A and B are shown apart, each in its own frame.
Chain A
């Protein structure tokens, strides 16, 4: 780990000011990913600003839905009585990720800012455009079994690792951010994480000097019919090969609105827009679920080692929708 100055922010504006005054400073939440990256010399901030003492830990209902404090822990969020009863998809997705110890440490804002677990990104002896722009992508021709099948570019084929974010994408959340000038802005979840394009070094649309203050989830009618399916190499404590967050807003036997997002397949939580559009107004049946899944996965562009993810995606979407229907 490179030497760094340790600072503690007492309030939000102080945190933003400290961040603005040092271009190579980073905010420290749970640290479960950042510290690991620093040990591997992938990240080398010259200053860490501990923001865990800020008052951004509340989870509360409001007129539009529910607001999750950026510094509330993943464990507390997943176990919050209102989240469990009204947004069980989010609880399930959080609990599908990491281990109990890590969920006790990880914050909601930090979860969104996790970096890819692509092994070439972590290995500083290998080229990686995300870590070192212009150095090349070792995964493209290397071992890319875990990598993307949607939205990748010739610069980067990495996938985004969070489970929580897949549920937030399906729940059509937004991210509230405090800006340098003291004002706030809301970023729609679909716009928060970005595809790699020609700049894979950027994971999201957050600017240096901005602080996530909360995640806002609008009210929905999915609580009784939602499911999170995660397919992985071992039963627990592993990143997804493919995951699916699904919710159905039913109107009798028909689907008023289908919410489907995927993890483990792209550089961001992948909204299954084609599948969602296919299902709108249709009868909730396995045949329709499978047809929707096939419509979505038809556009997949697998790499040399991950063709299996296409069929796995079809089965996982179908399975998640069946589970959501059953409730």
Chain B
């Protein structure tokens, strides 16, 4: 039973991506086809034909609650690692846009062209125009970090970035971290340590943590760095350093100890002890 209890938040976290896939067509890999065939044989054809829909997802949820999904899926999370394919971006209605900006940039290693209103933030462009709904709108005022994405290698807030300023830049979102079905080590560490409860802040947390690895490697300092004048590369982050450096990502469920453990594990590559003990 314990396995199932552990798995539930995992499924809940990925639900946001699934619900938001809406009408997107998503080609399934052979492993995924087999999985769906086992779990939902009567609906496999439809899934293959029209992609995932909310009712498929709800069914998956009920299977998860019954423990069937967990027992079926070894590495179930891999199923959800891949992002929805980006369909052709629909053009805005000509004339309906007062201050249009033609934007060419790179999103998750894919050259992307889109016409945006000058007011449109990078976050809204990713979510509403390009269909990448992994990046979340929490506060929309730069206070929560849920919208964190990686632009030209650096973590930034997509809610306070105008899309028009991204011309020629390279954007990595949560959907761009996994390689095919293989999770980014940070994603895997978050899953292992349950670095979330509701999962809403998680895409931002993970993007932030991935960029943090680069910052630590470069030897960037933080406010709690003991000797700011001493400069070294490849800093091994302490709990205190991780807390300070991740302070731009708020988690209202309070999964902080698990997030810190996940980041430590991802950085060291060694197993980090969990921060709690199961009782009973």
Tell me the complex Cα distance, A102–B249, Å: 11
Contacts A3-B98, A84-B221, A84-B228 given; does A32 touch B118 at CB 8 Å: no
Q: Check A237 against B142 for contact (C-beta < 8 Å).
A: no
Scan residues 211-235 of chain B and give those whose CB is less than 8 A from a CB of chain A: 211-212, 215, 218-223, 225, 228-229, 231
Contacts A84-B228, A95-B222 given; does A3 touch B99 at CB 8 Å: yes
Could you mark each residue 86-103 of chain A with 1 if its beta carbon is under 8 Å from any beta carbon of chain B, else 0?
Answer: 001001100110111110
Scan residues 119-154 of chain B and give those whose CB is less than 8 A from a CB of chain A: 119, 121, 140-142, 145, 148, 154
The reply on B208 being an interface residue by CB < 8 A is yes
Chain B hits for A99, CB < 8 A:
145, 247-249
Shortest B117–chain A CB gap in Å is 8
The answer, among B101, B145, B154, B165, for a CB contact under 8 Å with A52, is B165
Could you mark each residue 232-248 of chain B with 1 if its beta carbon is under 8 Å from any beta carbon of chain A, else 0?
Answer: 00000000000111111
Q: Check B248 against A102 for contact (C-beta < 8 Å).
A: yes
Q: Check B160 against A79 for contact (C-beta < 8 Å).
A: no
The reply on B264 being an interface residue by CB < 8 A is no
Tell me the complex Cα distance, A96–B223, Å: 5
Scan residues 183-240 of chain A and give those whose CB is less than 8 A from a CB of chain B: 223, 235-237
Closest residue of chain A to B155 (Cβ to Cβ) is A101
Closest residue of chain B to A228 (Cβ to Cβ) is B223
Q: Check A75 against B247 for contact (C-beta < 8 Å).
A: no
Chain B hits for A5, CB < 8 A:
99, 118
Chain B hits for A100, CB < 8 A:
155, 208, 211-212, 215, 222, 245-248
Q: Check A105 against B160 for contact (C-beta < 8 Å).
A: yes
Shortest B82–chain A CB gap in Å is 26
The reply on A308 being an interface residue by CB < 8 A is no
Chain A hits for B246, CB < 8 A:
100
Report B's interface with A, CB cutoff 8 A.
98-99, 101, 118-119, 121, 140-142, 145, 148, 154-157, 160-162, 164-165, 167, 208, 211-212, 215, 218-223, 225, 228-229, 231, 243-249
Known A48-B162, A79-B221, A100-B247; 13 more pairs at CB < 8 Å: A4-B119, A6-B101, A28-B165, A31-B165, A36-B142, A84-B228, A84-B229, A88-B229, A96-B223, A101-B248, A104-B154, A104-B156, A223-B229
Report A's interface with B, CB cutoff 8 A.
1, 3-6, 8, 28, 31-32, 35-36, 39, 48, 50, 52, 75, 78-79, 81, 84-85, 88, 91-92, 95-96, 98-102, 104-105, 223, 235-237
Of the A-B pairs whose beta carbons lie under 8 Å apart in the complex, a sample of 11, sorted by A's number, is: A28-B162, A35-B160, A36-B142, A50-B164, A79-B220, A84-B221, A92-B228, A95-B222, A102-B157, A102-B248, A236-B243
